[in-house]
A and B are shown apart, each in its own frame.
Chain A
Amino acid sequence: MSALLRSFGRPGVLLFAALVTFPYALQRVFLHTPIESEMGTAQKIFYFHLPMAWGLMLFAMISGVAAALQLLRRSERAEDVAKAAGEVCALLGIGALMSGAIWGDATWGTPWTGDARLVTTALLELVFIAYLIVAKFGGPMAGRLAAALAVFGALDVPIIYYSVKIWKTTHPKAQVVQSLPPEMWASLWPCLFAILACSFALFELRLRQERVERRLDEAWLALSAGDAAPAEHTALSGRSA
């Protein structure tokens, strides 16, 4: 077992942790948490909706900061981080929006309202989908343009957070989370952990692939350059053992 875990590395450990935590979180949510008086059973969607939304903001921030570093320091490492975080951010955003729509359908009776927090979250999601589109199809300057996009996307995160206060809204206010009864908090933590562990595992896997991709590209290029080949050969063939 430990050998298996080691062979998977840190993402494997994180995924394993998420896999163990998830059933525990589920039984806590359904068996040991009181039913919320106003919204009823449907409120149980909240325990995974909120971690998705927090994860969305967290990865938007990570992507934005990494993209800023990429632009200011021309760091390739930061570019890989920004790209991987951008993809996970888009994934979590879809999850948060869809679970939110389902929850809204159960409690508000409508999947979508023109509420400020919903609109800004949807915008953040659009920004990161645009980020992925630009990174893929943007031509020779795609990396830097996409990075600038991610920086603006991260700027949007505080706007999302404060939009609840600035605009009239039906979404539960941010203070609601602080006033949760302790049993609900106790159920929220494992859910948060499961979602974030899973997201970070996927993020790290994606990050590794991005780095491998870059190195493979460089290796092929060096190979096609011809004269550099012998040096690489000794280095690379040593790896195959």
Chain B
Amino acid sequence: MNPTIPTLTKAPPTADQGAAPAAAEDGYEAVTGLDKETVALKRTYEAEVEAKVASDYSHIVWAYGILWSLFCGFAIVLLVRGSRQQRDLQALRRELERRGEQAVDGP
């Protein structure tokens, strides 16, 4: 990881710690919100989570894809084998019919 990006090794400072007392003196009221450091930390944290979730999802897609393509592959093998058997069966029937005709024509 890039060393310049701060990570959440310490607890993020809460927003009302630094700015609130100064606002009361000169009538200036600070917008309540997060200070820059906290925002940066939160963004880093979000990026980390996003990266983890994205990687997890790519893993999931791969895993599910492989599982179902295995099943489909096996089904295709079965189909091919089945059609070969169909052809074999047709050949058998033709052979039997041929012999039947011979038997009728013959004696």
Partner-B contacts on A (CB < 8 A): 40-42, 44-45, 48-49, 52, 87-88, 91, 94-95, 98-99, 102-103, 105-106, 198, 202, 205-206, 209, 212-213, 216, 219-220, 223, 229-230, 232-233, 236-237, 240
Contacts and interface: CB of A to CB of B under 8 A. Distances in A.
Given A216-B88, A216-B92, 15 more contacts: A40-B56, A42-B56, A44-B60, A48-B67, A52-B67, A91-B74, A95-B67, A95-B71, A223-B92, A223-B96, A232-B96, A233-B97, A236-B92, A236-B93, A236-B96
Interface in B55-82: 55-57, 59-60, 62-64, 66-67, 70-71, 74-75, 78, 81-82
B92 A99 contact: no
A216 B85 contact: yes
B96 A42 contact: no
Contacts of A102: 59, 62-63, 66
B43 interface: no
Interface residues of B, number: 30
30 contacts: A40-B53, A41-B52, A41-B56, A41-B57, A45-B59, A45-B64, A48-B63, A48-B67, A49-B63, A88-B74, A91-B70, A95-B67, A99-B67, A103-B59, A106-B55, A106-B59, A202-B75, A209-B85, A216-B85, A219-B92, A230-B103, A233-B96, A233-B97, A233-B99, A233-B103, A236-B92, A236-B93, A236-B96, A237-B96, A237-B100
The winner among B57, B75, B96, B103 for most chain A CB atoms within 10 A is B96
Contacts, number: 94
B89 A216 contact: yes
B95 interface: yes
Q: Which label, helix, strand, loop or mixed, suits the secondary structure of the B interface?
A: helix
A51 B5 CA distance: 42
A238 to B, nearest CB: 11
A98 B73 CA distance: 15
Contacts of B75: 202
Interface of B: 52-53, 55-57, 59-60, 62-64, 66-67, 70-71, 74-75, 78, 81-82, 85, 88-89, 92-93, 95-97, 99-100, 103
Contacts of A223: 92, 95-96, 99
Nearest to A39: B56
A98 B89 contact: no
B89 A229 contact: no
A41 B54 CA distance: 9
Contact of A240 (B70, B82, B93): B93
A34 B53 CA distance: 14
